[in-house]
């Protein structure tokens, strides 16, 4: 790989795997969070279709549209300087090669360095079409939120399923993917898959043997009431924010806000003139 190529989104991630450097990925949906994540040296910022449930109040990732993804990808891209920006192709936006290429191109034009799609099998074919258009692709196997039927979360805890996860990841690599997200795959299976691939695996709920990790930022920040077994809460911002809003409301009701230091003033002479004008 040339030095030039290793600096691109396609080159950086496999290069990190070769060096044994863990990849840190986080989801992000807005400009201020993108600025903070970028400054925190997050390697990959993912505008995930989890934007639907976490930000837009949807009940299912299936409700997320290309329009939603473009809007949030543009906002995030304005805040990213150094990280690789990855954006999800939403449900039903990559049903044919032609559709996948058009939509991936739109996400790239909105600022994404790479796009992610879910599944293996037929989906692997889309990867060739998108990468031929010059856009690197990340795959996603294991638990697949876009097509999840609401039964169990963990995928690959039976031998036949685990073999499907491995075969799917290998197919994605062969099709030209630059990395693969492994979601809710048992740790031992994720370890086998990670060793079998040259490209990095990025785990969510898939244990310690992946080449990188991704978390949904609102889960990490403690913004949601629920939490998943695999997720780690690094802050309890939900409580902090609720408390700040409640104190503001109390201050307004009790006339403690605004206080002296929050006011703008007009000089006395100008005030006198203004009052004369007002009387006229």
* Residues identified as active-site: 183
What's the closest the beta carbon of residue 118 comes to ligand KIV, in angstroms?
8
Beta carbon nearer to ligand KIV, 6 or 224: 224
Beta carbon nearer to ligand KIV, 147 or 243: 147
What's the closest the beta carbon of residue 167 comes to ligand KIV, in angstroms?
20
Q: Does 68 participate in binding ligand KIV (rule CB under 6 A)?
A: no
Q: Does 194 participate in binding ligand KIV (rule CB under 6 A)?
A: no
Which position has the token pair 């993804």?
69
Beta carbon nearer to ligand KIV, 49 or 68: 49
Q: Which residues, numbered 30-49, are part of the site for ligand KIV (CB under 6 A)?
A: 48-49
How far apart, in whole angstroms, are the C-alpha atoms of residue 131 and residue 127?
6
Q: What is each CA distance from 249 to 165, 238, 261, 262, in whole angstroms?
A: 51, 17, 18, 16
How far apart, in whole angstroms, are the C-alpha atoms of residue 38 and residue 256?
37
Going residue by residue from 117 to 156, which x/- string records binding to ligand KIV, judged by CB under 6 A? Answer: ----------------------------------------
Q: How far is CA 20 from the centre of its chain?
A: 23
Nearest to 82 by CA among 22, 20, 138, 24: 24
Closest residue to ligand KIV, judged by C-beta, is: 48
Q: Does 87 participate in binding ligand KIV (rule CB under 6 A)?
A: no
Beta carbon nearer to ligand KIV, 16 or 204: 204
Q: Which residues, numbered 202-241, are part of the site for ligand KIV (CB under 6 A)?
A: 204, 214, 216
Query: Are the C-beta atoms of residues 215 and 184 closer than 8 Å to each other?
Result: no
Q: What is each CA distance from 48 to 73, 165, 167, 181, 254, in whole angstroms?
A: 9, 21, 24, 12, 42
């Amino acid at each position: 790989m040339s030095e030039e190529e290793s600096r691109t989104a396609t080159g950086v991630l496999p290069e990190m795997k070769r060096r044994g450097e863990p990849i840190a990925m986080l989801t992000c949906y807005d400009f201020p969070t993108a600025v903070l994540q970028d400054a925190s040296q997050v390697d990959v910022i993912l505008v995930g279709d989890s934007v639907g449930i976490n930000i837009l109040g949807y009940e299912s990732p299936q409700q997320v549209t290309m329009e939603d993804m473009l809007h949030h990808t543009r906002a995030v891209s304005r805040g990213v300087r150094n990280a690789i920006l990855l954006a999800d192709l939403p449900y039903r936006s990559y049903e044919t090669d032609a559709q996948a290429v058009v939509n991936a191109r739109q996400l790239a034009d909105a600022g994404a360095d790479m796009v992610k799609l879910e599944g293996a099998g037929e989906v692997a074919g889309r990867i060739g079409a998108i990468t031929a258009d010059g856009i690197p692709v990340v795959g996603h196997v294991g638990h697949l939120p876009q097509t999840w039927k609401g039964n169990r979360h963990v995928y690959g805890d039976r031998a036949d399923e685990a073999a499907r996860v491995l075969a799917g990841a290998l197919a994605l690599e062969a099709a030209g993917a630059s990395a693969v997200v492994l979601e809710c795959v048992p740790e031992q299976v994720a370890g086998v898959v990670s060793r079998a691939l040259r490209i990095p695996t990025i785990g969510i709920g898939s244990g310690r043997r992946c080449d990188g990790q991704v978390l949904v930022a609102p889960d990490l920040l403690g913004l949601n009431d629920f939490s998943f077994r695999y997720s780690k809460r690094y802050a309890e911002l939900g409580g902090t924010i609720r408390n700040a809003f409640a104190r503001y409301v109390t201050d307004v009701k009790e006339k403690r806000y605004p206080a002296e230091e929050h006011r703008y003033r007009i000089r006395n002479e100008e005030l006198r003139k203004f009052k004369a004008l007002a009387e006229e």
